[in-house]
Amino acid sequence: MSPVQCTGNVRVPRLQREKLMASDQLTPDKWYTEIYPDDGAAFSLSIKDRIHEEQTEYQYLEIFETEKFGRLMTLDGLVMLTDRDNFIYHEMMTHPALFTHPDPKRVAVIGGGDCGCVKEVLKHPVESVIQIELDERVTRVSEEYFPGLCTGNSDPRASFEFTDGIKWMEQAGDGEYDIIIIDSTDPVGPALGLFSTEFYRTCHRALSDQGVLIAQSESPLFHQHIILDVNRNMKAAGFAHRAVLQFAQCVYPSGWWTATLASKAVAPTEFRETAAQDKDFDTSYYNAAIHRGAMAQPEFLRKQLAE
Residues of this chain, 84-103, that bind ligand AG3 according to CB under 6 A: 89
By C-alpha distance, which of 96, 100, 113 is closest to 246? Answer: 96
In contact, 163 and 219? CB cutoff 8 Å: no
Measured distance CA(276)–CA(169) in Å, rounded: 29
In contact, 207 and 178? CB cutoff 8 Å: yes
Beta carbon nearer to ligand AG3, 89 or 271 = 89
In contact, 249 and 220? CB cutoff 8 Å: no
Phi/psi at 305 (5° precision): -70, -30
185 lies in the site for ligand AG3, by CB under 6 A: yes
Catalytic residue among 183, 186, 209, 229: 183
Beta carbon nearer to ligand AG3, 80 or 107 = 80
234 lies in the site for ligand AG3, by CB under 6 A: no
Taking the complex as a whole, the smallest distance from the CB of residue 48 to ligand AG3 amounts, in Å, to 20
Taking the complex as a whole, the smallest distance from the CB of residue 96 to ligand AG3 amounts, in Å, to 16
121 lies in the site for ligand AG3, by CB under 6 A: no
Taking the complex as a whole, the smallest distance from the CB of residue 80 to ligand AG3 amounts, in Å, to 5
Number of CB atoms found within 10 A of residue 242's CB:
18
79 lies in the site for ligand AG3, by CB under 6 A: yes
Taking the complex as a whole, the smallest distance from the CB of residue 180 to ligand AG3 amounts, in Å, to 15
Taking the complex as a whole, the smallest distance from the CB of residue 287 to ligand AG3 amounts, in Å, to 21
Active site residue 103: no
From 10, 12, 45, 81, residue interacting with ligand AG3 (rule: CB under 6 A):
81
Residues with Cβ within 8 Å of 232's Cβ and at least 6 positions away in sequence, in order, are none
226 lies in the site for ligand AG3, by CB under 6 A: no
Query: 3-state class of 31 per DSSP?
Result: strand
Beta carbon nearer to ligand AG3, 82 or 231 = 82
Taking the complex as a whole, the smallest distance from the CB of residue 105 to ligand AG3 amounts, in Å, to 23
Kindly tell me the burial class for residue 6, based on how many C-beta atoms sit within 10 Å of its own C-beta (0-12, 13-18, 19 or more). Answer: exposed
From 252, 260, 268, 279, residue interacting with ligand AG3 (rule: CB under 6 A):
252
114 lies in the site for ligand AG3, by CB under 6 A: yes
Q: Are strands 128-133 and 158-162 parallel, antiparallel or unpaired?
A: parallel
Distance of CA 123 to the CA centre of its chain: 18
In contact, 43 and 80? CB cutoff 8 Å: no
Instruction: Give the burial string for 65-104 (b: 16+ CB within 10 Å, else e).
Output: bbeebbbbbbbbbbbbbbbbbbbbbbbbbbbbbbbbbeeb
From 78, 97, 166, 243, residue interacting with ligand AG3 (rule: CB under 6 A):
78
From 25, 94, 197, 216, residue interacting with ligand AG3 (rule: CB under 6 A):
216
63 lies in the site for ligand AG3, by CB under 6 A: no
112 lies in the site for ligand AG3, by CB under 6 A: yes
Q: For binding to ligand AG3 (CB under 6 A), which residues are involved?
A: 34, 78-81, 89, 112, 114, 116, 183, 185-186, 216, 252-253
Catalytic residues: 183
